[in-house]
């Protein structure tokens, strides 16, 4: 039940972010929601007794991990989302597992095999379908497709680097401090690149959308994930990730009025095949 709740929260978050971008620029949105979510997580983990201290000699490593995982993924994805329908952006963003496998191969952690090739071909087909539609559309923004792929690459790279890191501190602690460092960066970058938002003009819908990002996406969903990550089999995590773009595409019809096209569903199917080939483990063969 918690896994289903997590998948729903992550999927619905995409059209909720798109709804917020109607009134709030992308980097200001990240600054508001990420800092609020980080503070909420600090309060929760402190209440649970998690050690949130990081040794002085580990700060450089934590900052290095924050670059791809926070600034790269969260920054580039919100910029890409501003130029794409939310369901389409979710499909492109969740090519991340394929990038993770490719980065692992480049670093010598994994070997190239048939399943990896299937994953790459399926993910490439999904990106090609959506990029072609953006090029053909009168108001299409194919550059946004590149932003989303750059974001997925950063997420994949950050995932591999997190797996390779040996910081000696809880993952919850690293995540919270990466979010705080990212929040500071967004608060610095946003006023330099985007106009200051007029808080007095925020609609009630925007406030509810921001609350969703803080409480559910960055808060409750993270708590669920950390509570289950150590107990979930890899296949469960993979199926959850596969379902997020589908949930995002379906919920977008209600939240922001986006009607998915045939190419969207075909691309979503390709991404599901790519994730399954990359993440779902093979059944253990019985020994003779």
CA–CA distance, 259 with 87 (Å, rounded to integer):
9
Say what the pLDDT of residue 16 is: 96
- The C-alpha atoms of residue 138 and residue 154 are separated, in whole angstroms, by 30
For the chain, give the number of residues.
288
CA quadruple 123, 147, 93, 170: dihedral sign: positive
Q: Among the residues of 137-261, which ranges form H helices?
A: 142-164, 171-193, 204-211, 221-229, 234-255
pLDDT digits (tens, 9 = 90+) for 234-279: 556 666 677 888 888 889 999 999 888 888 899 889 988 888 887 7
Q: What tens digit of pLDDT does each residue of 31-55 get?
A: 999 999 999 999 999 998 999 999 9
The mean pLDDT of 64-70, rounded to a whole number, is 94
Q: Which of 118, 127, 143 is nearest to 92 (CA)?
A: 127
Q: Name, in order, each residue with C-beta under 8 angstroms of 163's C-beta and a sequence gap of 6 or more.
A: none
Return the C-alpha torsion angle 98, 90, 77, 124, nearest 10.
40
| CA atoms of 252 and 246, how far apart (whole Å) | 10
The string of pLDDT tens digits covering residues 109-118 is: 777 788 888 8
Kindly tell me if the per-residue pLDDT of 284 is higher than 50: no
Is the pLDDT reported for residue 140 higher than 90? Answer: no
Predicted model pTM? 0.87
Above 50 in pLDDT, residue 285?
no
Q: Is the dihedral of CA 257, 260, 264, 270 positive or negative?
A: positive
**Residue 196 DSSP code:** P
Burial class (CB within 10 angstroms; exposed 0-12, middle 13-18, buried 19+) of 57:
exposed
For position 113, what pLDDT does the model report? 82
| Mean pLDDT of all residues belonging to the chain | 86
């Amino acid at each position: 039940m918690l896994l289903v709740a997590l998948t729903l929260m992550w999927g619905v978050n995409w059209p909720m972010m798109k709804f917020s971008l109607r009134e709030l620029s992308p980097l200001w949105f990240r600054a508001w929601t990420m800092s609020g979510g980080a503070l909420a997580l600090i309060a929760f983990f402190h209440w649970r007794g998690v050690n949130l201290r990081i040794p002085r000699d580990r700060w450089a490593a934590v900052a290095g991990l924050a670059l791809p995982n926070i600034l790269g993924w969260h920054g580039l994805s919100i910029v890409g989302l501003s130029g794409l329908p939310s369901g389409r952006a979710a499909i492109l963003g969740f090519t991340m597992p394929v990038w993770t496998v490719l980065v692992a191969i480049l670093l010598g952690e994994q070997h190239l095999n048939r399943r990896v090739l299937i994953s790459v071909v399926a993910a490439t087909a999904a990106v090609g379908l959506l990029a072609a539609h953006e090029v053909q559309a009168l108001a299409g923004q194919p550059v946004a497709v590149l932003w989303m792929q750059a974001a997925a690459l950063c997420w994949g790279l950050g995932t591999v680097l997190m797996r390779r890191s040996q910081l000696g501190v809880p993952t919850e602690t690293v995540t919270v401090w990466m979010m705080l460092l990212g929040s500071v960066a967004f608060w610095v970058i946003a006023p330099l690149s985007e106009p200051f938002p007029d808080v007095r003009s925020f609609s009630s819908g925007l406030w509810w959308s921001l609350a969703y990002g803080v409480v559910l996406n960055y808060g409750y969903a993270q708590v669920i994930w950390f509570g289950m990550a150590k107990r979930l089999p890899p296949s469960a995590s993979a199926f959850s990730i596969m379902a997020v773009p589908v949930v995002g595409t379906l919920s977008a019809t209600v939240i922001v009025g986006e009607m998915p096209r045939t190419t969207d569903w075909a691309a979503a199917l390709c991404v599901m095949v790519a994730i399954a080939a990359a993440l779902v483990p093979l059944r253990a063969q019985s020994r003779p």
